[in-house]
Amino acid sequence: RKEVEQDPGPFNVPEGATVAFNCTYSNSASQSFFWYRQDCRKEPKLLMSVYSSGNEDGRFTAQLNRASQYISLLIRDSKLSDSATYLCVVNGPYSGAGSYQLTFGKGTKLSVIP
């Protein structure tokens, strides 16, 4: 069962390009959604949370479509420093005792080329 699915890439884009990643999730009860960034041989770090109304942080825009159960991340004006793997993260499954686990997608690799 694939709970969070992402296109693994790699996406190779030139500097300045706009690139979009999509992610689908299977648990319709999920309530929270995130994009994490992971640099090569480093730990994941939170890039941004994803809200129902969509949200923007500088060059990054995240969108959520609950009806279709997909999440997107748009990166405008790509920089060399954006090269990384982007992890789609969704809360669920419910594990009891009022707690929720996070489910991580396998990640989409982005390489921004000079």
Query: Contact residues for other proteins (CB under 8 A)?
Result: 4, 8, 31-32, 34, 42-46, 49, 87, 91, 95-102, 104-107
Give which of 69, 54, 59 is closest to 37, Cα–Cα: 59
Q: Which is nearer to other proteins, 48 or 75 (CB)?
A: 48
Nearer to other proteins, 78 or 108 (CB): 108
**Cβ 13 to other proteins shortest distance, Å:** 23
| Nearest residue (CB) to other proteins, 91 versus 111 | 91
Q: How far is CA 60 from the centre of its chain?
A: 11
Find the helix or strand (DSSP H, E) in which 43 lies. none
Shortest Å, Cβ 51 to other proteins:
10
Looking at beta carbons only, is 17 or 93 nearer to other proteins?
93
CA distances from 104 to 36, 37, 69 (A): 9, 11, 15
Please state the closest distance from residue 24 (CB atom) to other proteins, in A.
Answer: 14
Question: Cβ 17 to other proteins, closest distance in Å?
Answer: 26
Extended beta strands in the chain, E state: 4-6, 11-14, 19-25, 33-38, 44-50, 55-57, 60-65, 70-75, 84-94, 100-104, 108-113
